[in-house]
């Protein structure tokens, strides 16, 4: 079973731009594609935060146009169509959002008007073709390998309930914590957690919400978990820390540079599950960048590249 995962797709202003990353992902023949935030950019340097000043009609019109532009990229469209044929059976396309496709740069849920949040959720659900709960974007899907369910992917929403950073401020929210606890209690196989915001791989991650972070650590306990995320416009592989068995694996920059200019990085990751091990490969525009393998029994990793 292969899961391709990536994030951060800033199409920019050129409608004829070719995003070669989708061709490269298609060559790997993944069973699943996980899109982990910033599928569109409502704002980008030097106009960060501009959508906060728009009325609802303009916000919806701009967001709709950006989704339509990205979803009409021919190679992206072909990749999604191929995986959609397997949706809910033994593959498919799933994901969650981060700040730029939720509202605007660094947007937190309480700062965004309910009507704006409703528009964002409606359009995300429409284009991603998912139907999560009434609030937020948290949900889970079974992971299937050789016609057998081997685990589940749990998608978390780190924007809808998120307050401004603070040790005692909300990140996931009460209902989402209850959902996560139930999902983990019901799964004894492979667990892949997915979120738009990294945990430790950025200074703007979960560590700035210590109350919720400590609650999260208590819920996951010693479970063996692969955590996938994006956001940082880089690839990263972080082994377990803090007494956990959680690997943090980041792929970000599918079509965006680290800072200002678009179209240079072409980053994506590939998680390949087999009964004995999990291979995790990171790719950039030059090809294979990192290769790690995790033994399923011991959950110890070896760095192969």
Reading the block at residue 158, the tokens are 């780190």
Residue 258 has a pLDDT of: 67
In contact, 234 and 284? CB cutoff 8 Å = no
Average pLDDT over residues 71-86: 96
State CA 16 to chain mean position distance.
26
Average pLDDT over residues 37-45: 94
Q: Could you tell me which residues are beta bridge partners of residue 155?
A: 139, 194
Q: Could you tell me which residues are beta bridge partners of residue 145?
A: 148
The distance in angstroms from the start CA to the end CA of the chain is 21
Residue 265 has a pLDDT of: 84
Q: Higher pLDDT residue, 134 or 53? A: 53
Q: Give me the number of domains the chain comprises.
A: 1
Containing structural domain, residue 110:
2-303
Vertex 101 angle, CA 181 and 281, to 5°:
65
pLDDT tens-digit readout, 262-291: 656 899 999 999 999 999 999 999 999 999
pTM over 0.85: yes
Residue 62 has a pLDDT of: 97
SS3 35: strand
Q: Higher pLDDT residue, 133 or 60? A: 60
Residue 261 has a pLDDT of: 62
Instruction: List the CATH number of the domain containing 292.
Output: 3.60.21.70
Q: Higher pLDDT residue, 11 or 165? A: 165
Q: How far is CA 41 from CA 51, 58, 68, 104, 288, in A?
A: 11, 15, 12, 8, 27
pLDDT tens-digit readout, 199-244: 999 989 999 999 999 999 999 999 999 999 999 999 999 999 989 9
**For residues 31 and 82, what is the distance between their CA atoms, to the nearest angstrom?**
10
> What are the strands of the beta sheet with 301-303, ordered from one edge?
92-96, 32-36, 2-6, 268-273, 277-284, 287-295, 301-303
């Amino acid at each position: 079973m292969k899961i391709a995962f990536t994030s951060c797709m800033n199409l920019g202003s050129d409608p004829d731009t070719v995003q070669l990353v989708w061709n490269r992902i298609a060559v790997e023949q993944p069973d699943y594609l996980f899109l982990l935030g910033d599928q569109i950019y409502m704002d980008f340097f030097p106009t960060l935060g501009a959508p906060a000043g728009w009325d609802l009609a303009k916000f919806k019109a701009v967001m709709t146009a950006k989704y339509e532009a990205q979803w009409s990229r021919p190679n992206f469209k072909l990749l999604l169509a191929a995986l959609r044929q397997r949706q809910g059976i033994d593959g498919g396309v799933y994901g969650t959002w981060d700040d730029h496709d939720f509202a605007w740069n660094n947007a937190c849920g309480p700062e965004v008007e309910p009507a704006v949040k409703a528009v964002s959720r409606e359009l995300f659900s429409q284009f991603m073709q998912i139907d999560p709960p009434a609030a937020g974007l948290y949900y889970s899907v079974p992971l299937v390998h050789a016609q057998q369910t081997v685990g589940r992917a749990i998608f978390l929403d780190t924007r809808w309930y998120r307050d401004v950073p603070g040790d005692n401020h909300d990140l996931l929210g009460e209902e989402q914590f209850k959902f996560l606890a139930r999902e983990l209690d019901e799964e004894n196989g492979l667990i892949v957690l997915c979120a738009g915001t990294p945990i430790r791989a950025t200074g703007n991650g979960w560590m700035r919400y210590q109350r919720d972070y400590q609650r999260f650590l208590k819920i996951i306990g010693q479970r063996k978990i692969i955590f996938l995320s994006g956001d940082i416009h880089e690839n990263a592989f972080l082994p377990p820390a803090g007494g956990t068995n959680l690997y943090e694996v980041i792929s970000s920059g599918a079509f965006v540079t680290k800072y200002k200019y678009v179209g240079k990085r072409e980053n994506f990751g590939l998680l390949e599950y087999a009964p004995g091990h999990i291979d995790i490969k990171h790719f950039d525009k030059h090809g294979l960048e990192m290769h790690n393998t995790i033994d399923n029994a011991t959950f110890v990793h070896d760095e192969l590249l």
